């Protein structure tokens, strides 16, 4: 790994890579860095550039990885290799292009070990949350944000409690479109939803649930099981440590 002594790279357990689009060979740089760090447990890639796209075409072995946050193309490379027992998995840059891709990732990252999963989808599909609930029973926090469309429908939101029953340890659920949908827009469950009412119903199915987020700016939270649900800004939620 350029600039890092081999003996140091061999002992690395955490790696954060900041880069610009000026690096046309980012895929090679990342692959070299990961290959030189066999003990790597935490990988953070806060940005995405087109030069990384080729990573999704080849396996990227990271056998001891437990935490990943980065673009879809890198996540795909990890999933194509022998999948590690991840506990925290987040795709928050470069959205997952299709439902099939999202389901492939969920099925190939040994999801039974997941505690926290956050996905950025190109478009909402109910199947994604359903699959997480099916194969990741230990999840404590599930977040799904979609770039396009209106987000989950009213029908899905009304039936979400059935999925939450499978997630006995769930403490937070975040599902919403990245761009706010105008209230009353046809087909939008989020725009016409009453977050507090949904939180109360979901809390009955998931006693450990403490935080519900149906928009990018506001959350509903409660301090204890059967406690009242109150509206908070995201800063207030972070300061009060609901999860």
The SS3 of residue 206 is coil
Per residue in 172-196, pLDDT (tens digit) is 999 988 876 555 554 555 656 788 9
Give the least confident one: 2-16, 81-95, 113-127, 196-210.
2-16
Predicted TM-score of the model (pTM): 0.86
3-class secondary-structure state, position 149: coil
CB 132 within 8 A of CB 121: no
Gap between the Cα atoms of 117 and 86, Å rounded = 10
Phi/psi at 118 (5° precision):
-135, 125
Q: What is the average pLDDT across 202-219? A: 91
pLDDT category of residue 31 using cuts at 50, 70 and 90: confident
The C-alpha atoms of residue 123 and residue 151 are separated, in whole angstroms, by: 8
Alpha helices in 10-153, H assignment, sequence order: 26-35, 72-80, 99-108, 126-135
State residue 165's pLDDT score: 92
| pLDDT over 90 (residue 30) | no
pLDDT band per the 50, 70, 90 thresholds, residue 237: low
Using CA atoms, how far apart are residues 96 and 117, in angstroms rounded to an integer? 14
Query: Counting Cβ atoms within 10 Å, is residue 141 exposed (0-12), middle (13-18) or buried (19+)?
Result: buried
CB atoms within 10 A of CB 239: 10
Query: How high is the pLDDT of residue 211?
Result: 94
Whole-number pLDDT of residue 210:
94
User: What pLDDT is attached to residue 36?
Assistant: 84
Mean pLDDT score across all residues of the chain = 83
- Integer angstrom CA distances of residue 20 from 9, 23, 24, 26, 50: 22, 6, 9, 9, 10
CB 68 within 8 A of CB 89: yes
Q: Which of 49-63, 80-94, 118-132 has the lowest mean pLDDT?
A: 49-63
Residues in CB range of 239: below 8 A, 6 or more apart: none
Instruction: Tell how far CA 207 is from the center of its chain.
Output: 22
> Average pLDDT, stretch 79-88?
84
- Which of 160-169, 173-182, 207-216 shows the lowest mean pLDDT across its residues? 173-182
- Residue 47 pLDDT > 80, yes or no? no
pLDDT band at residue 53, thresholds of 50, 70 and 90? low
Average pLDDT over residues 108-117: 86
- Sheet hosting strand 230-233, strand order edge to edge: 14-16, 42-44, 67-71, 88-96, 116-123, 141-148, 172-177, 211-213, 218-221, 230-233
Across the range 159-172, mean pLDDT stands at 93
Q: Please give the share of the chain, as a percent, with pLDDT higher than 90.
A: 43
């Amino acid at each position: 790994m350029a600039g890092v002594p081999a003996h140091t790279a061999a002992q690395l357990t955490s790696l954060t890579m900041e880069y610009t689009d000026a690096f046309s060979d980012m895929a090679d740089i990342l692959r070299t860095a990961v290959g030189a760090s066999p003990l790597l447990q935490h990988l953070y890639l806060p940005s995405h550039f087109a030069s990384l796209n080729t990573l999704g075409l080849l396996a990227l072995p990271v056998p001891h990885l437990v935490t990943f946050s980065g673009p879809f193309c890198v996540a795909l490379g990890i999933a194509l290799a022998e999948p590690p027992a991840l506990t925290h998995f987040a795709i928050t840059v470069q959205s997952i292009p299709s439902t099939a891709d999202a389901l492939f990732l969920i099925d190939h990252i040994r999801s039974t070990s997941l505690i926290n999963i956050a996905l950025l989808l190109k478009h909402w599909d109910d199947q994604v949350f359903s699959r997480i609930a099916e194969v990741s029973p230990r999840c404590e926090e599930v977040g799904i944000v979609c770039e396009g469309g209106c987000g989950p429908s009213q029908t899905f939101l009304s039936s979400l409690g059935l999925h939450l029953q499978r997630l006995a340890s769930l403490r937070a659920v975040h599902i919403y479109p990245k761009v706010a949908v105008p209230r009353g827009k046809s087909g939008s469950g989020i725009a016409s939803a009453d977050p507090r009412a949904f939180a109360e119903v979901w809390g009955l199915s998931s006693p450990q649930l403490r935080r519900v987020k149906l928009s990018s700016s506001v959350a509903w939270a409660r301090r204890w099981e059967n406690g009242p649900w109150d509206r908070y800004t995201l800063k207030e939620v972070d300061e009060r440590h609901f999860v």
